[in-house]
Chains A and B, each alone.
Chain A
Amino acid sequence: MKLLTFVKEALEGRKLATAGAIWLLIIVVAGIAAPLIAPFDPLEIDPIARLSEPGTPYLFGTDHFGRDTFSRAVYGARMALIIGIGSVMVALLCGGLVGMLSGYFTGLGHVLMRMVDVLMAFPALLLALVLMTVLERSVFNTILVIGIVYATTTARILFGMMLKLKNEVFIDAARCSGAGHLSLLFRHILPNLLSPILVQATFIFAFAQLQAAALDFLGLGLPPEVPSWGNMLAEERIYITRAPWLLIFPGVLIILSVFSMNLLGDALRDRIDPRFKDDIAGV
């Protein structure tokens, strides 16, 4: 409930961010109810209707196998959700734990944060590519790799906040009433980090979409049979002149989703720390 009011407050008077939130809600609903919404099986082939234009019965047209693009897009939304939520969870769990422990135990922090620095020295996509070439193409591995890439930034952010929080007087006060390390970390400090973690989660969700699409496009992400927006782009890119809608639909979906997530993240961040607010954000 508190989370809902928090989001509501963040969106107050911000039309673009609200539109973004509504769009994300549509994606979430489409993803969850994909089998009910999609008129066809996303893998069903209709060879006669190959590369047909948008219309009836194929709302977004068909691809070069004759699969319904609309159904694939709807199932792609489901995949986008899975990748997004999965990566956010991996990133927050690994990065959050590393960042919090590093900030709290100074000695351990020196070691762990240097390892994080090494990982951060690689560009995000390059690191993801290297890890994916080692691992097999699968939904789980894609989530894992993207999660690890963004765990580094999460660790950095939480490390910094931890350094500040652990010196707060109320932490000393908690120690005075006999709280141990575990209780200090997870009962007294973690709840104070929830709002920055929430903001970080929205940005990771957005970047995970881009990263996943990029990996798919390079043929190193999800297995080719999985209907995802990135895979749709990758498979149909050679038909860009004959059937441009095959690329326009998934492309627009990726852009809108990432953009919406960023708008929402901006709004949440401004709610937490109004100092970052810039003039355009209020539009």
Chain B
Amino acid sequence: MDSFFTRYRNLLVLLAILLAQIVGLAVQVRRTGAGSNTLDPRDEPGVRLIRLWANALVSPPERLIHSSKLGAGYLWQNYLDLRHVREQNRDLQQTIDRLRLEQAALLEDARQGQRLQGLLDFQQKYIYKTVAAQAIGTSGSDQSRVFYIDKGADYKLDRDMAVITADGIVGKVRDVFPHTAQVLAIDDPTSGAGVILETTRIRGILRGNGAGQPQIVDLLADPRIQPGERVLTAGGDLVFPRGMPVGVVEKVVRDPERDSFIDVIVTPAAHLDRIDEVLVITSTQPRFSPQQQQDLATSEALKGSEAAAIKEQKKASEVMAERLPGLTDPKLPPDQQPLLDNSNPNPVAHPPQALHPDRFTPGAASGPAPATVPDSSAASKPEAGSKPSQQKPGQEKETTPDSGTTRPVPKTTPRPASSPGRQTTPRQAQPQQTQPQKDEPRRNP
């Protein structure tokens, strides 16, 4: 017997180790209701212990390497390579100004959206609190697309928290260790995220394929799905907030196993191969966070009035363009339209002030207020020679500011006296009002 063990010692050790590992594997796999095998997403205590040990052994050197790299980079970027910083600062300041304008302009829409969501009892979740983290390592295998971040239970991270970058979603927290956490990327075959196509509003599930590309699976063939369409999170998976960028449709391929189904290959918005800094969403709430509210208030205070003025000016010029078809040339591109030409070669002189105003004096006429183009000069100073008495019954007068032309408009609904920025006539209805005027003679002052 002794000689048997001595002779086959190597083989026996090999078999014993293989057997132990096979038994260990059998414990980790369970059978689903559909009859297929799957890995338990939540590790058994023993398995988790092994992962914890491996992580405790590998993470400190990884953090050390990462810190050294960061230190060297910090030294270079903040002390040695400071060229063009002033230019960058100026550019960034301009970008901030522009973004403030855009934010202030969007603020009202956001508030309106919130009010409407409140009416519909729809709970939109806003990102309330995030934790910034650095990616310090990977699994080392292209079959397991997970990576490790340098924040863990010490920063109150938990399983299934969404991990994002400024570009788009990255993945979700799969496991949390004391000082690190494992993140399952969206290009792993075992991941899953609810997504929606931006224009076609088709919903699906995003997961990775063998080549490491995210794809939307289990979709019925639909010719509307075209490359280039943006993919957003749908918000139904209770992991990712709704509306976050996921990527862009790269191509549509047939499902090799099912004829009528397709797979939509997605180019991820976040650079999944070069993940450095990420944000872990630790809390979402159905309202703006205090920080976001403060930012909005700052934007409103700093640039809100300016943005509102620009918005009103744009609206006024749009209305003016529609009411003056002669000033828009359909053959020219929008930026070369004569309406946009500010250099007026023949400025119109304003009428002198009347010494003895009477009822024919411009601006002194009573009666229904005319619908005017929302331009301050036009609203307050009618052009020389405009004669309210020439208007026909059943028609209201419309005054265009630059030419001083007065055109009769068929009376439809009584409109209140317009003021700058208050013109609310629907744009599409406008041509129907102005069309009959082409056949009527224009009245020159």
Q: Do A and B come from one complex?
A: no
Q: Spell out B's residues near A (CB within 8 Å).
A: none
